[in-house]
Structure 1
Amino acid sequence: MELRQLKYFIKVAELHSFSEAARQLNITQSTISQQIRQLEEELNVELLIRDSHKVMVSDIGLAFLPQAKQTLLDAETCIENIHDVQQLNVGELRIGTTPTFSTLLRETVQQFMKLYPGIKVNIFLHSVETLMGLLDKQEIDLALSYKSHQVYPSIESHIIFDNRLALIVKSGHPLAARTSVRLADIKQYPIALPAKGMQARSAFDRMTTHGHMHFDVRLEVNDVNMLLSVVKDNSLMTFLSEATVKHFQGVTAVRLDEANTDMEGSYHVKKNVYRKKATREFLRVLKETSPYGLAIMELL
């Protein structure tokens, strides 16, 4: 059964005439007759009753007619929906991000939603390990995080900007005026750490693995905004990427003069699968709205 056969049958049924249907559809009468005959043979029924004077719709044809119209309408709606998705008028975008990285997405998400109000955006906050699992199962379209040191064979990752772990202190802190600090300068001060599982905490642990230093840890928090608020309002200091605090007032990022402080902003997608146009467009908006001078990305 073909859509054109349904279209021809509907037109003849409405006009009770092969010749008039052919004229309105701008095709030959023999083409219409042949296609409807093939439809009847496939269904093994008589849809139209023909004689030399007129065309009537059979009882089976009358029962079939509303379903044929609905099928044709559904097909046309499907085509319109595909066009809307292609034009980003409708659709869904599922983005996963780590808590440490999530603070960087506010402007991008707002701009994307402004440009494409018909796209529903779902954002999920998880550890990078969980995000890679969701990507592998195709439960999210895109993941954004700092580069993981673990290799995921089914995932491809692209660096979008370079950044580093920094010491974060309130603006009036004694170390706020320093251009850089060493860990030895920090150990006398009380600190608040990102909770284990957060990427900034993983970067901190890598940096301090071989230092054999002990720090006065007073607090561990798994929420970046709460951590920054605590630092802003107290004498505690913490460790986050420089990018995380770019727009947060009342705190200062001080460079760490240590090895293993790299935190490269990255996006991740599953290998060898279809890339939504919305995914590619979100990455373009991210590139344009980021204040970190994103490297040129391969917009998939």
Structure 2
Amino acid sequence: MELRQLKYFLKAKELLNFTEAAKVLNISQSTLSQQIKQLEDELNVQLFNRIGKRIFLTEAGEMFSEYALQGINRVNEGLMLLKDLNNLYTGKITIGVIYSMRILFAKALIKFAELYPTIKIQVVFGTTKDLLEKLNSHHFDFILSFDGDEQLPHLKYQRLLSSNMVLVTAKKSQLVNKKSISLEEVATLPLALPFSGYSTIQFFVDSFNQNKLVPKICMEINDIPTLFEIVKTGLWHTILSDTSVNDPNVVGIQIEGESMKRTITIISLKEAYEKKAVKKFYDILVNDG
């Protein structure tokens, strides 16, 4: 079994089309078909069902694909380790970040890029759910997210900082002079909240339910800047982490209660090789966060 055969198999699985997969891999279709057939012969199992020009993954192919992907990832991690041994600061790091961390993260990103200009950095913003799924598929070196109730054994968690949950309201709002606000009062206000899938809204839905409160959720929006525009009208309010409030026309009022604090965490795969550049980014986040 050769590494290239695994790569060919995974590309064919992704596209479910030998012709398209061969084009992407820059090889002939006959070469791809031959290599897949050799792999099936060696495994003594059929990975694809072939019906005319169409292909479908068999149950065996689906099961084998997980191990093939792990094999490719482990080889890539080995190559990264060797590159790091030869050159401490080289290559690329990919980071997933929840929207609530974008302001603090931007400061760390600028500092890192100034210190290590030869390293390519790819940043993807998303919801906790989406980022965790991509982390588990080895798309990220690490993600920044809120600490959840459940910690998974295959993930490594590094606590970064605590964040207060705040009611975000317009500067012209009658609430603006409040030092803090109760969850009960928040439930009576017209709310525009982040879209379902964001950990913030799930956190507050659970908090409202636990306190037998029914909030007035008027709209859900999957874009934080748009939420700020809605809030600035003075007609609606939103709930966010205080780390995400940076618009001069809105203010954040702390929501009362010890449970209204959340922990922002660095999450990575335990078994994945940790690049030296990633460790340097950790240092900046921890020391400057």
Give yes or no for the alignment of 1:266 onto 2:265: yes
Amino acid aligned to 2:148: S
Correspondence for 1:131: 131
Structure 1 residue 84 displacement after superposition: 6.6
Structure 1 residue 193 displacement after superposition: 0.8
Correspondence for 1:91: 91
Correspondence for 2:250: 251
Aligned 1:205-284 pairs, distance under 5 A: 205-245=205-245, 247-258=246-257, 260-284=259-283
Structure 1 residue 207 displacement after superposition: 1.3
Amino acid aligned to 1:287: V
CA contact (8 A) 2:84 2:276 kept: no
Cα distance in structure 1, aligned partners of 2:220 and 2:132:
25
Extract unaligned runs of 5+ from structure 2. Answer: 1-79
* TM-score of the pair, normalised by structure 1: 0.64
Cα distance in structure 1, aligned partners of 2:104 and 2:232:
19
Larger radius of gyration between Structure 1 and Structure 2 = 1
Structure 1 residue 133 displacement after superposition: 3.0
Structure 1 residue 186 displacement after superposition: 2.9
Structure 1 residue 212 displacement after superposition: 2.9
Amino acid aligned to 2:270: K
Extract unaligned runs of 5+ from structure 1. Answer: 1-77, 291-300
Cα distance in structure 2, aligned partners of 1:259 and 1:280:
32
CA contact (8 A) 1:188 1:216 kept: yes
Amino acid aligned to 2:136: D
For residues 152-209 of structure 1, give each alpha carbon's deviation from its aligned partner in whole angstroms, at most 9, with x where no partner exists. Answer: 2210111111122111112221112111111332344321111111121122112111
Amino acid aligned to 1:114: E
Structure 1 residue 116 displacement after superposition: 1.4
Amino acid aligned to 2:261: D
For residues 234-271 of structure 1, give each alpha carbon's deviation from its aligned partner in whole angstroms, at most 9, with x where no partner exists. Answer: 331110111211x3322211111245322111101111
Structure 1 residue 132 displacement after superposition: 2.5
Give yes or no for the alignment of 1:119 onto 2:127: no
CA contact (8 A) 2:172 2:234 kept: no
CA contact (8 A) 1:164 1:241 kept: yes
Give yes or no for the alignment of 1:104 onto 2:104: yes
For residues 115-164 of structure 1, give each alpha carbon's deviation from its aligned partner in whole angstroms, at most 9, with x where no partner exists. Answer: 21111111122332332233233221011011122332210111111122
CA contact (8 A) 1:169 1:232 kept: yes
Cα distance in structure 1, aligned partners of 2:188 and 2:202:
22
1:248 aligns to what SS in structure 2? coil
CA contact (8 A) 1:100 1:199 kept: no
Amino acid aligned to 2:218: R
Correspondence for 2:160: 160
Cα distance in structure 2, aligned partners of 1:287 and 1:113:
16
* Structure 1 segments of 4+ aligned residues over 6 angstroms from their partners: none
Aligned 1:35-74 pairs, distance under 5 A: none
* TM-score of the pair, normalised by structure 2: 0.66
| 1:157 to 1:82, Cα distance in 2 relative to 1, 3 A | closer
Structure 1 residue 219 displacement after superposition: 1.8
Cα distance in structure 1, aligned partners of 2:125 and 2:237:
24
Count of equivalent residues: 209
Cα distance in structure 2, aligned partners of 1:83 and 1:258:
49
Correspondence for 2:141: 141
For residues 91-112 of structure 1, give each alpha carbon's deviation from its aligned partner in whole angstroms, at most 9, with x where no partner exists. Answer: 1011012223334311111221
CA contact (8 A) 2:166 2:241 kept: yes
Cα distance in structure 2, aligned partners of 1:236 and 1:103:
23
Cα distance in structure 2, aligned partners of 1:278 and 1:261:
34
Identity of aligned residues (%): 21
Amino acid aligned to 2:216: D
CA contact (8 A) 2:163 2:262 kept: yes
Aligned 1:19-38 pairs, distance under 5 A: none
